[in-house]
Structure 1
Amino acid sequence: MQSYLQSRRIGLAAKAQVERDLEKARLITLHSTGGGGVDDEPASTRDHDDVSEPPLRPHSPRSEKSLDLDRMSNQNDGNDEEEEGDGGTTNSSSSDTSSDTSTPAERVQTMATVRTQYTSRAALGHSLTGIHARDRRTHEGKGSQVFVVGWEGASDPQDPRNWSVARRIGCTLQISLIAGTVGAGSGIDATVLPQAAAALGVSEVVESLDTALYLVGMGVGSLIAGPFSETFGRNYVYCGSMFIFMVWIMASGLAPNIGAQAVFRFLAGCSASTPLVCSGGSVADMFDGLEKTWGFPLYAISAFGGPMLGAVMGAYIGPSPLISWRWTEWVMLILSGLVMTLIIFFMPETYAPLLLQWKARHLREITGDDRFRSEHEIVEATLFTRLKVSMTRPFVMLTEPIIIAMTLYLSVVYIVLFTFLVGFPYIFEHTYGISQGLSNVIFVAMFIGTEITFVLVPIVYRMTIKEMNLAESRGEGRQFNPEIRLWYAMLGSAVSIPISLFWMGWTDFASISIWSPIFAVALFGYGVMGIFICAYMYIIDAYETYSASALTFVALVRYVAAGGMTVVGIPFYENMGVPYTLTILGSLSCLLVPIPYVLYRWGWMIRKRSKYAVSREI
């Protein structure tokens, strides 16, 4: 709905722009043919340029938009006779124009044809603000000239970066809600492991495949989600993937055995991968580099809480005597339906190339000139070619030290997080004798910990402004080093993860208050969120053009690793015990703590030697 209304608004804006610039184009045409000394091109050149222009189409059908232009053009006819020049050619042109009774689309085409006697650019296409007339390049197919459609100035209200702050925040929160919903799907099923395993006649370890394959599906699906958003736009892909996600969730709820359930959960995970790849692009569509300092955390802090909130949502479904454990899937289905309805009616399209494609289409309809094209349309890149790049280029990042370091860091963090889904009963339920439902409710503490990360946003924001002002004082423009994003990890988040794991592991005894491991869980949430924001924003700013491929590789590895470790989580806790299990995980995270500090000190040197990263240094 919003996309349709948005397209209509872009069409009205294009119509208004043409109405403003049509008189300007007419004057340019008169000037170019009036003998004023501008048209000095030889006849041979003019004859050659005429080949590139479209033929005059006096009988082409007119759209409703061109009818309004007709009235505007006719109002100018009466003034044409008053224009007098030094030479008779100008008077003649004025007389010809005043007697013209053609339609606006025909007048535009006539002006374009006359204009080619002066240059290869049509008058209207040359005069419209934000339109760049140029010859096609060799790889861009047939045709000698195109009018490349851009925004109407830096403050064009149709550009998502120029929307009001409230509108951009609202759109960001909707994207965050999508990510949080599909994230909840990864955590909610783990809350009913005992009941689902008993009903399907399998062990809890086998039933944990349900969660594991969902995570693996999210990783695998990230390879193909990006090209769809670049072809059809963000909004259509969000809506389409949510619908497919709902189909597989419903199938999982109806699955008669563990095999069918595992397959459907894997397919649901593949459909749920869209926010992993597209959300970073959506945020970049609306926020510039400085604004992303608070825009991306606004998305991430809410979205990352999905698995935790999913565990809370399913906390009392399993042990309830009133409803079946399958209600975990029905709850997800209902929630997904509500979110899908919300984004259909209220979420606008943010992908700038698609918006410009809509504008170019409206300009073609208004003027009848097929040369108005967005950059997105000039080179016909098929979905297949985009999929080929998306599925191969991420593996090129295996040679990038920054990508390898951040992938390893996030993989360990996600392994710990998702082993908590099956490990919380051992940490809290078995140790303190609390109920299954209350044990899962403790995930609220972790979610609260993630929200504490908001306190870092104004600190990093001020650091970023300071660095931008320094660069501007040196004449380098308003820019900053990507390493500034590492402060989200360096301000306590990196060390919080091992501290929280050791704290939780060695205070998890019945003789010690349950609040001790609960506070440790909250500290873990703070650390995880800081690392997540740091890794994503650093990769986006360090790799820019290649950031989508880099993030796809990171998502694939971390979700496959987390899915695999979820299966071994139960034997791990049972055989090693809570203290030693968390000690091992804490020791692994200790090895990764220096990563953000090392990259902050020497990251610029790594980027300088990279084939894909930006090499600037403030």
Structure 2
Amino acid sequence: MSTAITTTLETDNQPTSELGSSITCISGYLTGIHARDRTPDEGGEGKVFVVGWEGDNDPLKPHNWSIPRRVAATLVVSCIAIAVTAASSIDSAVLPQSAAEFGVSDVAGSLATGMFLMGFGCGALFAGPFSETFGRNAVYMSTMLLFMIWIMASALAPNIGAQIIFRFLAGFFGSTPLTCAGGTVADLWDPLEKTFGFPLFAIAGFGGPVLGPVIGSYIGPGAISWRWSEWIMLIIGGLVLSIVFFFQPETYAPLLLSWKAKHYRELTGDDRFRSEMEIRTTTLLQRLMTAVYRPFVLTWTEPIILLMSLYLTVIYIVLFTFLDGYTFIFSDIHGLSQGLTNILWLGMLIGILSAVVLVPVVYKWTRAEFEKVPETERATFKLHPETRLWYAMLGAAPAVPISLLWMGWTSYPSISLWSPLASSVLFGYGVMNIFISAYMYVIDSYEIYAASALSFVAFTRYLAAGGMTIVGIPFYKNVGVHWTLTILAIISAIMAPVPYLLYRYGVRVRRFSKYAVTRA
């Protein structure tokens, strides 16, 4: 068979008219191959056989894998998200003990958390080009390994300066697998399935920062050293890395096609079999430069990205200032111990998990949108991006300011702590659904530019959250719990109309955009 294929491929010296009949012969053996001339910017001359999928139902295509296999792959990247995001917040659970050992104030000690988040933001700018060159799994494994090395260094840090540097580097490398995880979700699920596929990943990704204080709740005040907060995250990271290494399939379609092209080259001995990924001439350095500057270019010209960045920045500021605020709310006002105060983060986790109740509802509505389209056109049909805003519009947007006011003005010794705890459940519900809507809306609105758009969204929210984590202690101490939460509630209330306004006017905004899709 390979001899026959090789014979049919010797077409360089054939006239163009003969190329078609030759390729027809090839298709008897191999499908999904497109023969064409190399373009001037691709380098070289002559023909190239571009390897693609063998139709929409190609079993090698990740979208066509069985649902259990795709769910399993999504759950693996969810584990990655939990491992790296829990590490972002776990140090707050042992802040009094680490600050005391290093001989610094709690404000200075909070730099360990703040710098980790800033590292997250900076690292997010570089993730895309690497995953588009080496594939998802290579990035997951290499950066998870580097993340673990710097987490280990943080556990061994001799002073506060070293710990701050090591935590920044851990955050820098930890952000890369988290950022690429969204790409894996897109690799696995089609636009309709993404309605439940993305929340499956996002709930874990957003739940990680809430789990961090719970995991570290009794490490600081217990019999073991606060440094075990880092050792535990190292162990979790090692377990997740092992799962990725042994069980996670590669999902990046261009890389899968390049492997397929390599197989054809070995099978036929013909070097002209190439995937699109192998033909491109842009270097990794060029893509890195684009990845760094394009997010900032998009920001100044795209109101959708600007609004969603501001909205998620506000959400993350509130979330991560709670790392400081819970001590003032539950320890100082209600007299709870350090360990029990951290356990109460489970209330917010319950709210985050409650977001799953909307998945069947939104999926039903999204499916109805698809059913309006003739069956012959569904394969190419793309949803209106505004349909992704339903998660935020179903009570999530107003839930955030309401929960903050509720928590702020029921945080009195004379009122049961169950009241602010219940408000944290509502807050968790709100922020989770806003996060899902914001990400899915940006992805669907910008498609090929989505990676750049999301890079800026991640950069701004993590940098702002890192800064506010550091000033959170003096903020709560000087302004007080009631007015701190009131100020945050007012800011979030100003942002609450954003999903409703974009649902109403998003189509018009996209029509005037240079980068967004323009379908109505």
- Band the TM-score falls in, shorter-chain normalisation: over 0.9
Counterpart of 2:517 in 1: which secondary structure?
A: coil
Which residue of 147, 155, 173 corresponds with 1:271?
173
Distance 2:481 2:189 in 1: 43
Distance 2:436 2:404 in 1: 20
Which residue of 107, 119, 134 corresponds with 1:205?
107
Distance 1:276 1:332 in 2: 15
Counterpart in 2 of 1:363?
264
Counterpart in 1 of 2:229?
328
Counterpart in 1 of 2:360?
458
TM-score normalised by the chain length of structure 1: 0.81
Which residue of 454, 474, 482 corresponds with 2:385?
482
Shift of 1:479: 3.2
May I ask how many residue pairs the two structures share in their alignment?
Answer: 513
1:364-443 matched pairs, under 5 angstroms: 364-398=265-299, 399-443=301-345
Bigger relative contact order, structure 1 or 2 (CA pairs below 8 A, ≥6 apart)? 2
| Letter paired with 1:540 | I
Counterpart of 2:414 in 1: which secondary structure?
A: coil
Contact 1:126 1:133 in 2 (8 A): no
> Residue deviations 1:230-267, cap 9 Å, x none?
01000110011110000000111111111010000000
Give the 3 Å change call, closer, same or farther, for CA 482–231 of structure 1 in structure 2: same
1:215-294 matched pairs, under 5 angstroms: 215-294=117-196
Q: Is 1:138 the equivalent of 2:36?
A: no
Counterpart in 1 of 2:14?
116
Contact 1:471 1:479 in 2 (8 A): no
Distance 1:213 1:337 in 2: 23
Which residue of 434, 441, 454 corresponds with 1:531?
434
Counterpart in 1 of 2:408?
505
Shift of 1:461: 1.1
Contact 2:210 2:349 in 1 (8 A): yes
Which residue of 165, 171, 196 corresponds with 2:73?
171
Shift of 1:112: 3.1
Distance 2:8 2:256 in 1: 27
Give the 3 Å change call, closer, same or farther, for CA 469–478 of structure 1 in structure 2: farther
More divergent stretch after superposition (550-559 vs 108-117)? 108-117
| Letter paired with 1:559 | Y
Distance 1:581 1:190 in 2: 19
Could you tell me which runs of 5 or more consecutive residues in structure 1 were left unpaired when the two chains were aligned. Answer: 1-68, 70-103
Distance 2:397 2:8 in 1: 65
Distance 2:377 2:234 in 1: 54
Identical aligned residues as a percent? 58
> Residue deviations 1:507-557, cap 9 Å, x none?
011111110000000110000001000000000001001000000000000
Larger C-alpha radius of gyration, 1 or 2?
1
1:97-108 matched pairs, under 5 angstroms: 104-105=2-3, 107-108=4-5
Give the 3 Å change call, closer, same or farther, for CA 335–301 of structure 1 in structure 2: same
Distance 2:263 2:156 in 1: 46
| Letter paired with 2:7 | T
Q: Is 1:575 the equivalent of 2:478?
A: yes
Distance 1:244 1:538 in 2: 32
Distance 2:177 2:493 in 1: 30
Counterpart of 2:126 in 1: which secondary structure?
A: helix
Distance 1:473 1:586 in 2: 46
Contact 1:505 1:578 in 2 (8 A): yes
> Residue deviations 1:309-346, cap 9 Å, x none?
111000000001x2111111101111101110111000
Counterpart of 2:511 in 1: which secondary structure?
A: helix
Contact 2:400 2:489 in 1 (8 A): yes
Distance 1:110 1:188 in 2: 62
Shift of 1:111: 3.5
Contact 1:141 1:379 in 2 (8 A): no
Shift of 1:447: 0.6
Contact 1:498 1:589 in 2 (8 A): yes
> Residue deviations 1:269-291, cap 9 Å, x none?
00011134212211110111111
Which residue of 399, 414, 417 corresponds with 1:514?
417
TM-score normalised by the chain length of structure 2: 0.96
Distance 2:10 2:139 in 1: 41
